[in-house]
Chains A and B, each alone.
Chain A
Amino acid sequence: MTCRLADNVQVRKESWGLLFYMQTRHKVCFVRSGDWLYPEHFDGTWTFDGIINDIAGRTDTPAEIIERALPRLTERLTKKRMIIDEVR
């Protein structure tokens, strides 16, 4: 499964994480993800496991910790309609 930005949503990297912007409702969503996540992770090509491996490789964070935290974060973004899950 991969995640991609919902239609009419943009995202940019900030020092503290990611800033999502929904253009139809002019709403923003602040995600304090530090250097874990980058906008590219939501381009529809990254699998969940791929994101975990990428974060673990770049940050030396144990994969188990990422596996626990990442679903909570993506569920929140899905609930806010910033991203959508895609089954490939």
Chain B
Amino acid sequence: MKYADWPLSAPVNITWEITHRCNLKCVHCLSNSSQESPGELDFEECRGIVDQLAALKVFEINFGGGEPLLKDYFLPLLRYIHTKGIVTCVSTNGTVLTDEAIECFTGNPLVNVQVSLDGATPEVNDRIRGEGTFHRIIKGIERLAGRDIPLSINTVVTSLNFMQLRRLKEMAVSYGASLRVSRFRPSGRARQSWEMLRLNTEQLRELSDWLGDDLTILTGDSFFSISQDGRRHLGLDMCGACKMTCCIDPCGSVFPCAFMQEREFCGGSLRETTFKDIWDNSAAFKYFRQLEPEACRKCPRFDSCRGGCPAVAYFVSRDLNSADPECLANWSRDASPAPPLEGR
């Protein structure tokens, strides 16, 4: 039985995009962030949401955006969440760290910090995250490293940085951090760069092998569609949207995941109803829970992945019933001379 079959009264974790404001303009930004959106939630509204999540015993909130540290009330909100015992993960670009933020993170068992870095050199990173950002990000990582802060470096894997993944792993280790790799998905600003930055079949195969060989690399559920059995045993085996997780946007709308923030997938607004009502009753969430893409149902791997990432399938084909174009079964067929995956 898969976790998708165990209905949850609330998510295990929530991605909360606290603002669309960002000082960078990365070409792959999933939320197309740069300016604060009109009508972003205020501090009291956020506290009210936290109260709801705490009452539901949501275990973890992952903050992203936008750059969370640019939200003026972010650190007070973080402290408030910690009074409720909820674990937090702060995803930051590392360029706007303040002493106050570092003090808030240090020695705090409820904080994990993830710094985004998209290349092991300025030449690669800066093409994605902007001119001059590599050195600024590294300075940020150096300020965080060596303290009592669970730290990871997050890299969105693209054709530009693919050849640097091993170096990025070494860099992370040198800072006492983990490397976390995320899947490049064609949402937000990434839709414009999808064809240019997506991995090709051979790169996907190589990535799958690498992840299978090194289980210390963190992936969240990013690569379940190309994960081989060894890594799948870590439990990262299917889309958790609306089952284990969901996403709150800066204005209080709730979506299946951070990559599925189309209007038609919105479960509801926290300004109009409760989180529990959205989780239990929204039509969009019910639809996602029973989603079994038609194109995948006869696949022998269907029970393993239940159809891959709906976000990628949707943004490539505009059809939630189509297969994830990067799923392991698909590219295994395409690259026919390759050795069988079983028994590796």
Contact = CB atoms under 8 A, between A and B. Distances in A.
A16 B109 contact: no
B59 interface: yes
B12 A19 contact: yes
Interface string B1-44: 00100111110110000000000000000000000000000000
B87 interface: yes
B231 to A, nearest CB: 14
Contacts, number: 39
Interface string A19-38: 10101101110100000000
19 contacts: A10-B59, A12-B10, A14-B7, A14-B9, A15-B7, A16-B6, A19-B8, A19-B12, A21-B12, A21-B59, A21-B60, A23-B60, A23-B87, A23-B109, A26-B87, A27-B235, A28-B12, A30-B3, A30-B6
B183 interface: no
A59 interface: no
B71 interface: no
Contacts of A28: 3, 12, 59, 235, 244
Nearest to B109: A8
Which applies to chain B's interface (DSSP): helix, strand, loop or mixed?
loop
Which applies to chain A's interface (DSSP): helix, strand, loop or mixed?
strand
Nearest to A27: B235
Interface of A: 8, 10, 12-16, 19, 21, 23-24, 26-28, 30
A28 B57 CA distance: 13
Contacts of B60: 21, 23, 26
Interface of B: 3, 6-10, 12-13, 57, 59-60, 85, 87, 109-110, 150, 235, 244
A19 B58 CA distance: 11
B199 to A, nearest CB: 25
Given A8-B109, A10-B85, A30-B3, A23 B59 contact: yes
B212 to A, nearest CB: 19
Nearest to B56: A12
Nearest to B110: A23
A27 B87 CA distance: 12
Nearest to B218: A26
Contacts of A13: 9
A14 B59 contact: no
B57 A10 contact: yes
A24 B235 CA distance: 16
Contacts of B3: 28, 30
A12 B244 CA distance: 14
Nearest to A22: B59
B8 to A, nearest CB: 6
- Most A CB within 10 A of own CB, among B3, B9, B57, B109: B57
A12 B7 contact: no
Contacts of A24: 150
B109 A14 contact: no
- Most A CB within 10 A of own CB, among B3, B87, B110: B87
